[in-house]
């Protein structure tokens, strides 16, 4: 992605806001060692993974939309976008289950 400090700050602010909105009350996991970009990417992956884990058939579409907002403008090679794409497939199946 980018090591531009302003872009990284904006990216962190976006993922932190998404975390607070979608995982209210859940502590942010330790991000370990590495560059700011690596830590932000780990946080983004943790966010989308936890959102997927908490999704229900009733919330699957809303969760998918929220995830897409995080990565829609990124290249297809972006690791977080790839994970979101994988989760979208799972959420589509979850949302269409018969209860």
Per-residue pLDDT of 15-69, as tens digits, reads 999 999 999 999 999 999 999 999 999 999 999 999 999 999 999 999 999 999 9
SS3 81: helix
Classify residue 81 by burial, with Cβ atoms within 10 Å: 0-12, 13-18, 19+. Answer: buried
Structure tokens at 18: 């998404």
Nearest to 14 by CA among 37, 50, 44, 34: 44
The parent domain of residue 22 ranges over 5-95
pTM of the model: 0.90
Q: Total structural domains in the chain?
A: 1
CA separation (Å) from 27 to 1, 8, 62, 93? 26, 21, 22, 28
Task: Tell me what pLDDT residue 95 has.
Answer: 86
Quick one: pLDDT band at residue 85, thresholds 50, 70, 90? Answer: very high
Task: Tell me what pLDDT residue 96 has.
Answer: 79
Count of residues for the chain? 99
Quick one: pLDDT band at residue 3, thresholds 50, 70, 90? Answer: confident
What mean pLDDT is predicted for residues 62-88? Answer: 96
Rg of the chain (C-alpha set): 14
Task: Tell me what pLDDT residue 66 has.
Answer: 95
């Amino acid at each position: 992605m980018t090591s531009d400090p302003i872009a990284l700050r904006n990216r962190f602010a976006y993922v932190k806001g998404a975390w607070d909105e979608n995982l209210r009350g859940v502590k942010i996991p330790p991000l370990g060692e590495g560059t700011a970009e690596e830590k932000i990417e780990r946080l983004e992956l943790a966010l989308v993974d936890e959102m997927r884990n908490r999704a229900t058939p009733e919330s699957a579409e809303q969760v998918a939309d929220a995830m897409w907002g995080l990565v829609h403008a990124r290249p297809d090679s972006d690791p977080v976008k790839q994970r979101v794409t994988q989760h979208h497939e799972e959420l589509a199946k979850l949302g269409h289950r018969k209860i």
